[in-house]
Amino acid sequence: MSRVYERLAKAVFEGDVEKTPKLVQKGLDEGLVPKDILDNGMVVGMDEVGVRFKAGEMFVPEVLMSADAMQAGLEVLRPHLVASGAKLIGKIVIGTVKGDLHDIGKNMVGMMC
């Protein structure tokens, strides 16, 4: 298994929005399969975020930082996933009640999609 996956998982977990897209590009440059970059790197990092959040070892701001890093990596990866034949399974529409100022849950879900 490529060391890029480990480094990518760590970058996502740590919420490193600068390093994550660079590591995604490095994986692509090394010829790694886009779906494997997602599954074996980025998702592994977010899975650890979920475990730590559930255990009370991470808090919402840290989760949001990790989600931002995941999104930054997906910006680089998305065109390669499409080109590799990965199929979209649907679209998600998300929103809040008009005037609701407490939309952090919606924002978290939106970042993860």
**Domains in the chain, CATH or no CATH each:** 3-88 (1.10.1240.10)
Q: Over the stretch 30-50, which tens digit does the pLDDT of each residue have?
A: 999 999 999 999 999 999 998
Q: Over the stretch 40-88, which tens digit does the pLDDT of each residue have?
A: 999 999 999 989 999 999 998 899 899 899 999 999 999 998 888 877 7
37 CB burial (10 A radius; 0-12, 13-18, 19+)? buried
| 3-class DSSP assignment, residue 17 | coil
pLDDT of residue 94: 82
Rg of the Cα trace of the chain? 15
pLDDT of residue 12: 96
